[in-house]
Structure 1
Amino acid sequence: MEEQLEAYCTHLRSERQMSLHTLLAYRRDLDKVLAHCRQQQLTSWSALDPQQLRSFVARQHQQGQSSRSLARLLSAVRGLYLYLNREGLCQHDPAAGLSPPKGERRLPKTLDTDRTAQLLDGAVEDDFLARRDQAIMELFYSSGLRLSELAGLDLDQLDLDDGLVQVTGKGNKTRVLPVGSKARQALQAWLHLRALANPRDEAVFIGQHGKRLGQRSIQLRLKAAGERELGQNLHPHMLRHSFASHLLESSQDLRAVQELLGHADISTTQIYTHLDFQHLATVYDSAHPRARRKGKTDD
């Protein structure tokens, strides 16, 4: 079993060219399954049946494994058995039809409007890094871009005269988004300095050597800005989530928010209705004279 598992991992690395990070995660998951098989005195992968795998997954869930982690584990098992079946080493897949236990859907973290203003409305130094980072944060919050969309943005996708940006998102789908006035001002200030920096490609956001700014660099710059301005962690999706939450609070138009975010399924967007309810519940608790839902009752 160990030799077959090693052969599968070699296949993933050499033929599938799987990233090292993903490969290590798959190997850790499959090592857990292998240890379970040994505990059950199973001597071959073909001896593992769906009921045994289901019991193993249930036990992992009881021990605190998240639904997301267990979904990855099952994906790793399916990949292994696809390989084993193709190599003639097995004739079944114990993970077929199995789903991970449903966990609580965690609400995305957002900034409220005051914290967003605190982040974006401070004085900005007129230098390369400060202007670039300000433009990045304003565009994330103005248009709800994903990290990959912003990092991949080229100059010909940006129309500041009309206040529009065209991005290519998941599934290679293109959408056109509005760019707010604050973001336009920040971008204009940045593009003036960008032009003086000997840019080496058409990327909107470049580093000091003129090359496109990578996703990891953007994450680190936002993290530094969050710690400096807010005293907390800040990441690109927090600004995207804040964009969606604040827009839904004001407009109550779920379909419009879905289109702006580029969600294929409206159920993905509906999580923001929970955030909106939290906001409404907070207002209710603090303002209604007979609310007191979380306070002490009268004697």
Structure 2
Amino acid sequence: MSMDSAASDAVVDAIVAEFRLWLERERGLSAATVCCYGKQARKFLSWLPDPADSAVQQLDSTQVTSFMVAYCRDRKASSAKATVTAVRAFLRYLHATGWVRVSLVGAVPAVAGWRLASLPKGLDAAVVTRLLDTCDRDTFVGRRDRAILLLLARLGLRGAEVADVRVGDVDWRAGEITIRGKGNRLDRLPLPIDVGEAMVAYLTAGRPVCDTRTVFCTARKPYRRLSASAIRAIMGRACRGAGLTRIGAHRLRHTLATEMLRAGSSFPEVGQGLRHRNNLATSIYAKVDDNVLRMLARPWPTGDRS
């Protein structure tokens, strides 16, 4: 690596670090969101010509649009939308802190997408059992991974929420667990017996003694909290062990929602269970509610005119 390249990387590191600090202090975003936005900002800065600080000061709308078009061309809509959100946040930071004179947020093109267009895909109970059975309960890693998969499956948590569960969040006497959701929202949920037993097995027979405040940590020194990406990797490893194509951790959240509906839960109850802030987010599960759809279906014509 040349000295010029190293200097440019140092400038990028400094800008990203200040951006992340701004997100934490001014916006109050969660650690997972700050990390995600920081990664996207780094990709954007690395795309600009060297030196990075000069390129940022001379940034214009054409460059912003060109980056977004080039970067998102072959990506899924969900990935492109995440990049759009992060880059817009970064451009707001640049304007608010005086790096650029005018706001360039409007130069970030929107990503075409239609809310509720997709169909949530749950998993059969047998598939969930196969995933859980891949965890070797005689090993530290197996006990940890089983507890993680059960939190995803039984409580419908997001990967980042599982990663953020802290030791003090579990009220063992009351049988409840506090979840840190989107927007730093705190919710108390009942702790299912099998989830509690799996967490106890991990905490009492395997979790290393360390300063990490979160329940789940890495298996090797130096011990650190697991990231949301590590939770996804655990799900991927379970899929391989079960002989399945890779399934995202969010599929277990969809599975819980569809099971609740088919057991007779109402949409408000499902929304409450998944901790949705907007009822529209829950309404997508109407597509998999067989009982409701059966009432809407019209009889198939038989051709009998008598």
The normalised TM-score by structure 2 is: 0.64
Match status 1:253 vs 2:266: yes
Q: C-alpha displacement at 1:228, in angstroms?
A: 0.5
Residue correspondence of structure 1 range 14-163 to structure 2 within 5 A: 15-17=18-20, 21-26=39-44, 68=78, 69=80, 72-73=83-84, 76=87, 95=106, 99-103=110-114, 105-120=117-132, 124-163=136-175
Task: State the alpha-carbon separation in 2 of the partners of residues 122 and 66 from structure 1.
Answer: 30
Query: Larger deviation: 160-169 or 99-108?
Result: 99-108
Structure with greater Cα Rg: 1
CA contact (8 A) 2:84 2:108 kept: no
CA contact (8 A) 1:12 1:23 kept: no
Query: What SS does structure 2 have at the residue aligned with 1:257?
Result: helix
Task: State the alpha-carbon separation in 1 of the partners of residues 13 and 279 from structure 2.
Answer: 39
Question: Unpaired segments of 5 or more residues in structure 2?
Answer: 1-11, 21-33, 50-57
CA contact (8 A) 1:30 1:76 kept: no
Structure scoring higher RCO (CA < 8 A, sep ≥ 6) equals 2
Task: State the alpha-carbon separation in 2 of the partners of residues 228 and 88 from structure 1.
Answer: 49
Task: State the alpha-carbon separation in 2 of the partners of residues 205 and 14 from structure 1.
Answer: 26
Which amino acid is 1:227 matched to?
Answer: R
The normalised TM-score by structure 1 is: 0.65
Q: 1:265 aligns with which of 275, 278, 284?
A: 278
Report how many aligned residue pairs link the two structures.
261
CA 1:280–1:97: 2 relative to 1, 3 Å: same
Residue correspondence of structure 1 range 179-198 to structure 2 within 5 A: 179-194=191-206, 197-198=207-208
Question: Unpaired segments of 5 or more residues in structure 1?
Answer: 1-8, 32-43, 285-289
Which amino acid is 1:129 matched to?
Answer: V
Query: What SS does structure 2 have at the residue aligned with 1:167?
Result: strand
Task: State the alpha-carbon separation in 2 of the partners of residues 247 and 291 from structure 1.
Answer: 29
CA contact (8 A) 1:254 1:270 kept: yes
CA contact (8 A) 1:219 1:236 kept: yes
Root-mean-square deviation (CA, aligned residues, Å) is 4.6
Query: What SS does structure 1 have at the residue aligned with 2:271?
Result: helix
Q: C-alpha displacement at 1:243, in angstroms?
A: 1.7
2:209 aligned residue? 199
- What CA deviation, in whole Å up to 9, does each residue of 1:77-100 have, x standing for no partner? 796599579969876869389754
CA contact (8 A) 1:225 1:234 kept: no
